[in-house]
Amino acid sequence: MIILLNDALEVKGNDRDNSDSERKLRLGRKWAEKAGENYRYYMVFDNLNWSKEGAYELSDFVDLLEKL
């Protein structure tokens, strides 16, 4: 999970990847859909060890943030 604060970024560490990560990813996408166009949900890992739409490795996510 990432939380963008005023000038900080909190990253979900690989130790947090567990059996319910896919469920949390689906829930996060649903939350973003309902929250409106000013909100986004991204699941970001230091080193991504599985491939799911909406989950990013930190380096890829930083690139994505620069484009937003």
Which structure tokens are listed for 23?
A: 């469920």
Choose among 51, 50, 31: nearest CA to 41.
31
Q: Which domain holds residue 41?
A: 3-67
pLDDT tens over the chain, length 68 residues: 555 555 555 565 666 656 678 888 888 889 888 988 877 888 887 776 777 777 888 888 889 888 87
Give the predicted TM-score (pTM) of the model: 0.64
Domain count, the chain: 1
Q: Using DSSP, state whether 65 is helix, strand or coil.
A: helix
Distance CA 34, CA 39 (A): 9
Q: What's the confidence (pLDDT) of residue 16?
A: 61
